[in-house]
Structure 1
Amino acid sequence: MDAYPLAMAADRDIHRIGGALAESSRATGFTLVALTYVAAGLAAAAVVAALRVGHPLLVAFWADVIATLVVFAASMAVANASLYDPYWSVAPPVIAAGWVVWSAGGDLGAATGRQWAVLLLMLVWAIRLTANWAVSWRGLSHEDWRYVQLREQRPSGVPWWLVNLAGIQMMPTLVVFAGLLAVWPAVSVTSRPWGPLDVAAVLVTGGAILLEAVSDRQLHRFAGDPVNRGRIVDVGLWRYSRHPNYLGEILFWWGLWLFGLAAAPDWWWTVIGPITMVLLFVFVSVPMMDRRSAARRPGYARHMRHVPALFPRPPRDD
């Protein structure tokens, strides 16, 4: 018998087995993530029950911290820090919903239009962003490259658990909670009627979600085409901004701040939330992505000179 058909058949078997193992890893990974987040939710609920007489803002903060510690413990147990990744998008709508329930006295029928607008926009954002993570995560064998880099490049003598807890998990939790500070007045102060600032908040927040969705889809389509392997994404929104998805995320938090400002102008100081988001993306996320792209793709340094990092504009010519 000709060896070529046998080799082809063997190759197909290997790919089939490899695909089955990959799917098994994904299924196992997502099951573990689900169980971890259920445990984190139960731990947070226990904190809420124990501190029920405290201010809802502080109660939510401590529940958030404890839930993060549960996810951290699970990530250390399976040696994969990416278990934390969906926390960024899962926790905020849960916290906001808890505040709405508290504000409405448990009667969601009494919720105001502003409260519903904030909740629905946050839910749409959370579902889309979590789904985007789920599509790209391949299971327990897959850890975000940034975490791998942090593990390999951490200073001598600094334990990995500390880097994982402080830099990968607790820091984002605190940054997101800073962003949520504006959501508290937006969903708890109901004395001010719906106004022009609310309309602006809807437009900014909804537009931010759309910007993220479109840019992520354009990126996935570009990366999924074998013709573009090794190329720099420069189509659609990516032609005018190197990180339009990051810009969308930043604008989302500014939109939530506008909701808080519309509900309670005295809470203007919660602007520290979206400002913190700007600092995170400008000084951490964008530089890390740019350094990686410059190391992997020839011509990326030139691309950086011609296309802005965040705010779009027509690309410059040589």
Structure 2
Amino acid sequence: MSRGASFARVVVAYLVAFGGATLWLVAGPDTRWLWLDGLIADLIATLVVFAASRLHHNSSCYDPYWSVLPPFLAGYWALAADPGGDGTRTALVLVVIAVWAVRLTANWAISFPGLHHEDWRYPLLRERAGRHELAVDLMAIHVIPTLQVFLGLLPVYVAVTRPGRPVGWLDVLAFVVGIGAVLLELVADGQMRRFARDRRPGEVMDRGLWGWSRHPNYFGEISFWCALALFGIAASPADWWWCLPGAAAMVALFLGASIPMMEQRSLERRPGYADVVARVPRLVPRPPRWQRPQRPAVRG
């Protein structure tokens, strides 16, 4: 299947998924809680995308969901909230989410080779599950990431639905952190894309931002979700317990799962990556360690 045909199929799947989610939000029974309405719509869309993943035997159909869902849900909460949060804060939150979503979705679209390709982690998870691969595909690859993103969006729910608290310095900090995170990811994307195009066999990336952090894109992603948490706390400090778990879950995801899997794969496939591990920080950017070149042994 060509890249264009694959792209069209993914787009159709998402139109059906978010069409079903919108139908629920517009015509479904009222749960009395906007956050619960959003969660049900989120799960409906996830199940449609899961059906598309099974139809095409490719769980990478789910990959763009991470970036497409947040603006949809944040926009719904902002429109449906009555009376809603501070207008300026709501605008700042939606701008940060929109900029982030455009960058991440565009990066997926540029890198998308077609439905003949699947993220290497998904077959690995299904193979390890054996006869339970359907349940693992549904829960581990589709539903659990959906719930994690929803948890990360709860501060947005707080920010756009809690009225009365004016915009302050914490909102400004959240906006700067959020936009800065997107810019960092954008630069890291471009540097990695150029490296992948020009690299020699066995060469490892340790240039630009990737010379200051082995995973600058993940650092930017964590920073984005932390920015959303700051927006929620700025809107309603008493609701901090809504706001912090999502950011904490994102930190746990990247430090406990995504980074270890990527590191192990790189060490197995690229012998030179061990040198990068020794010199370059794992996540938080800082100058790499300087290593004194070893002198050849003198034989007497």
Please, which of 75, 79, 91 is the counterpart of residue 53 of structure 2? 75
Partner of 1:39: 16
Matches of residues 12-161 of structure 1 in structure 2 within 5 Å?
25-48=2-25, 49-103=27-81, 112-152=87-127, 154-158=128-132, 160-161=133-134
Counterparts of 1:132 and 1:37, CA distance in 2: 17
Partner of 2:262: 289
**Where does structure 1 differ by over 3 angstroms across 4 or more consecutive aligned residues?**
none
Backbone CA RMSD of aligned residues: 1.6
User: Could you report, residue by residue, the CA deviation over 1:39-87 in whole angstroms, capped at 9, with x for unpaired residues?
Assistant: 1112212322213352000110111011101100111011010110000
Structure 1 position 247 matched with structure 2 position 224? no
Q: Secondary structure at the match of 1:142?
A: coil
Aligned AA for 1:157? R
Matches of residues 241-280 of structure 1 in structure 2 within 5 Å?
241-269=213-241, 270-280=243-253
User: Could you report, residue by residue, the CA deviation over 1:262-299 in whole angstroms, capped at 9, with x for unpaired residues?
Assistant: 11111111200000000000010001110111111112
Report if the CA contact (8 A) 1:76-1:161 is conserved.
no
Counting matched residue pairs gives 289
User: Could you report, residue by residue, the CA deviation over 1:95-137 in whole angstroms, capped at 9, with x for unpaired residues?
Assistant: 000001012679xxx9711111111110111011011011111
Q: Secondary structure at the match of 2:131?
A: coil
Displacement of 1:313 after TM fit?
A: 1.9
Q: Secondary structure at the match of 1:230?
A: coil
Q: Secondary structure at the match of 1:315?
A: coil
Q: Secondary structure at the match of 1:194?
A: coil
**TM-score, normalization by structure 1:** 0.87
Displacement of 1:34 after TM fit?
A: 1.1
Report if the CA contact (8 A) 1:223-1:229 is conserved.
no
User: Could you report, residue by residue, the CA deviation over 1:233-282 in whole angstroms, capped at 9, with x for unpaired residues?
Assistant: 01111001000000000000000111111111111112000000000000
Report if the CA contact (8 A) 1:44-1:67 is conserved.
yes
Change over 3 Å in CA distance of 1:234–1:103 after alignment to 2: same
Report if the CA contact (8 A) 1:100-1:111 is conserved.
no
Counterparts of 2:94 and 2:50, CA distance in 1: 27
Structure 1 position 215 matched with structure 2 position 188? yes
Aligned AA for 1:72? F
Displacement of 1:148 after TM fit?
A: 2.5
Partner of 1:163: 136
Counterparts of 2:169 and 2:191, CA distance in 1: 33
Q: Where does the alignment leave 5 or more consecutive residues of structure 1 unmatched?
A: 1-23
Partner of 2:179: 206
Displacement of 1:302 after TM fit?
A: 2.8
**TM-score, normalization by structure 2:** 0.92
